Amino acid sequence: MQEIQVKRTTAPKSKPDPATLLFGKQFTDHMFLMDYHAGQGWHDARIVPYGPFSLDPSCMVFHYAQEVFEGLKAYRTPDGGVQLFRPDQNIKRMNNSCERMCIPAIPEDLFLEALKQLVSLERDWVPSQSGTSLYLRPFVIATDANLGVHASHSYIFAIICSPVGSYYPEGINPVKIYVENDDVRAVRGGTGFAKCGGNYAASIRAGQRAEELGYSQVLWLDGVHRKYIEEVGAMNVMFQIDGKVVTPSLSGSVLPGITRKSCIELMQHWDLPVEERLLSAEELFSAAESGKLDEAWGTGTAAVVSPIGELAWNDRKVTVSGGKIGSLTQKLYDTLTGIQWGLLPDEFGWTVKVC
Ligand SMILES: *Cc1c(COP(=O)(O)O)cnc(C)c1O
């Protein structure tokens, strides 16, 4: 494995007030960078002072969105240490996303070492107030200066870090969700399973429309039939219907969330069966209207779990769990956050100590 060169900043920034941290607005003193050139492979792994890139305006990423990213967090543990949660899963998923976008794979051991060394160098940036963390954003961009449509021959892989506040500073409040009939996020055969910027660009309009109507997220339907539920906003989604947990199967257009996977594994461990299958909006609303929808929640790294309190589809509107967080949603939240912040024992070997 190649060595990671370290060039420290000579102008460290002052740390933000942990009480007023916003998501993704402040960044730490350093970033990890590595370059790729055809024939040379990935090279020049380095940690350098955080700062802007200088890129040719014709760079492929600006025009054709050949780009992938990841999102994970570093957590402060009660003993003052710092740990990551299932980074191996993010590394595998990023390489799956790379494969879809014709980007050369990142060596897995080097990727993990980069995360550890960067977080260790920035350890004082990991906040310790309840619910706070250091958000890590690895990404790859295509840097060929060329408007021809083909895979780039050069790339930059970067990791930047941002201290983030608690997702729920005022306690967990269930969100209102609007079923989107027109726009779709992804289709099978497209890039829905890959974590790439283009999926997000395609999702912004529906999100805006939902917000204008007073809802906080969109419930996405499949792109072919506009019938089956896929995700909620940029989270996976789960429902408890008549006692059974149902979540959309990974059909190719659904992002394979690590929080989703962890929730499924926890529920299986608790002997709660989870059905991964097609679930139509009609089935969901019929269940809700006949009093059989017990709980509904989204899952993702940022929020961990986000309870759904209300669902609207055309002129049908249903309240879930009386608009409050359900007991299973709460149990998943408490268990996952407990493991992530080192407050509960990690029976599954999910955490990786950094320092
Ligand atoms: C990242 C992401 C998720 C959640 O994945 P986690 O690994 O749980 O953070 C879900 N849906 C989309 C579209 C995403 O980009």
Decide: 258 in ligand 1 pocket, CB within 6 A.
Answer: yes
Tens digit of pLDDT per residue, the chain (355 long)? 999 999 999 999 999 998 888 889 999 999 999 999 999 999 999 999 999 999 999 999 999 999 999 999 999 999 999 999 999 999 999 999 999 999 999 999 999 999 999 999 999 999 999 999 999 999 999 999 999 999 999 999 999 999 999 888 878 899 999 999 999 999 999 999 999 999 999 999 999 999 999 999 999 999 999 999 999 999 999 999 999 999 999 999 999 999 999 999 999 999 999 999 999 999 999 999 999 999 999 999 999 999 999 999 999 999 999 999 999 999 999 999 999 999 999 999 999 999 9
Rounded distance between C-alpha atoms, residue 130 and residue 132, angstroms: 6
Decide: 230 in ligand 1 pocket, CB within 6 A.
Answer: no
3-state secondary structure of 121: helix
Q: How far is the CA of 145 from the centre of ligand 1 (A)?
A: 30
Decide: 176 in ligand 1 pocket, CB within 6 A.
Answer: no
SS3 content of the chain, % helix, strand, coil (to 5): 25, 30, 45
Which amino acid is located at 219 in the chain? Answer: L
Ligand 1: atom nearest CA of 231 is: 11
Q: How far is the CA of 14 from the centre of ligand 1 (A)?
A: 31
The model's pTM is: 0.98
Ligand 1: atom nearest CA of 261 is: 8
Contact by Cβ (8 Å): 125, 135: no
Contact by Cβ (8 Å): 243, 288: no
Probe ligand 1: pick from 139, 235, 261, max atoms within 8 Å of CB? 235
Decide: 300 in ligand 1 pocket, CB within 6 A.
Answer: yes
